[in-house]
Copies of this chain bind each other. A is one copy, B any other.
Amino acid sequence: MPPLPGSEARAETPPLHGHEAGVILQRVRESVDPELRSALESLPGSLRRVALYHFGWEHADGTPAAGNAGKAIRPALVLTAATALGGDRARAAAVRAAVAVELVHNFTLLHDDVMDRDTTRRHRPTAWTVFGDSAAILAGDALQALALRLLAEDPHPAAGAAAARLADCVVELCEGQHEDTAMEALDPGEVTLDQVLVMAEAKTGALLGCACALGALYAGASGEEVGAMDAFGREAGLAFQLIDDVIGIWGDPSRTGKPAGADLAARKKSLPVVAALTSGTAAASELAALYAAPYDEGDLVRTALAVEEAGGRDWAQVQASDRMGRAMGQLARAVPDPEAAGGLLSLAEFVTRRSA
């Protein structure tokens, strides 16, 4: 299926920032991967296989694979925040924390895929489809334990506060996923925009905020700076989610790896959809009717148009810009020197523009 109408109007990734972020992410992988891999290798045999498969370091049959463990945005935020506030020394000290955040992220992915019955992750079959639900749940449980063990064993003075903060974040991530699954069972008309925003902040914003806050903690930053870094990550995370939801409807299938309009086909109550449904427009009623019945041919295109006509797309893009503005404000509070803040700025722009 070709891209849905309007998808050709996407802004291209600005090459300069994309390049900078690309360099940062590459360096982060080099710092983080050895420690991450050694944490996974410490797992007992059967769980190790599930974990190495999930991270892309093994094929389903246990033979080595090239690795495709995602973009490492979260560890990059930890290390870049540490550098911005404490230089190279803080960056070096924060590698374990960066690995812990990546382990937590992947524990939630393993569990979310089981709950959501998602069959594809990073262009490969999800772990539960290969090893079964129990193995995927247990591997996720073990990754959470590995994450908190890394911090428990870290002699750095910030490690205790970092562990407490990461554990709090896990609770918030669980709450976000719980709200998400509860909301998917509701009638679209029963969901408010505020509910979806709160859910998105818990499910996506919380861990990006925590990553930045951990970097700040390892740089010995003040409570106020740590708070501002957390808020920066949260706002950038919400901007990312808004853009991701736009891509989920109008993204180019050849670039997203998903069929056009995948989120609409799954009747996802994503941010632009709920904004459209609660707009009080004629298009909102049309959208509600389309979401309530099985799709006929051409209905997916009509549904995307209804979201757009009801203002859902514009709202999401304005909200995303607004959130990025707030993120910049928080970043300036935490790191007043624009040069020191440059890396975090590049990462925030990278995640919010990556393929929108």
Contact of A135 among B149, B164, B172, B178 (CB under 8 A): B178
Residue of B nearest to A116 (CB): B134
**Docked complex Cα distance between A346 and B46 (Å):** 37
Tell whether A111 is near chain B: CB-to-CB under 8 Å: yes
- Shortest Cβ distance from residue A209 to the other chain B in the assembled complex, whole angstroms: 16
A134, B178: Cβ atoms closer than 8 Å: yes
Among residues of B, the one whose C-beta sits closest to the C-beta of A139 is: B174
Interface footprint category on A: 35 or more
* Known interface pairs A114-B137, A171-B47; A152-B142 also in contact (CB < 8 Å): no
**Beta-carbon nearest neighbor of A159 in chain B:** B160
Task: Tell me how many chains of this kind the complex includes.
Answer: 2
Q: Identify which of B115, B134, B142 contacts A134 (C-beta below 8 A).
A: B115
A308 within 8 Å of B by Cβ?
no
Whether the Cβ atoms of A138 and B178 lie closer than 8 Å is yes
Q: A141-B170, A163-B163 known; A178 and B148 CB under 8 Å?
A: no
B residues in contact with A168, CB < 8 Å: 145, 149
- Given A137-B137, A144-B144, A145-B144: A47 in contact with B175 (beta carbons within 8 A): yes
A35 within 8 A of B: no
B145 A178 Cβ-Cβ under 8 A: no
Which of B43, B115, B171 sits near A137, CB closer than 8 Å? B115
* Minimum C-beta distance from A274 to chain B (A): 19
Closest 7 interchain pairs by CB? A149-B167, A152-B163, A145-B170, A152-B164, A148-B148, A44-B175, A115-B134
Interface residues of A, Cβ cutoff 8 Å to B: 43-44, 46-47, 107, 111, 114-115, 132-135, 137-142, 144-146, 148-149, 151-153, 159-161, 163-164, 167-168, 170-172, 174-175, 177-179, 181-182
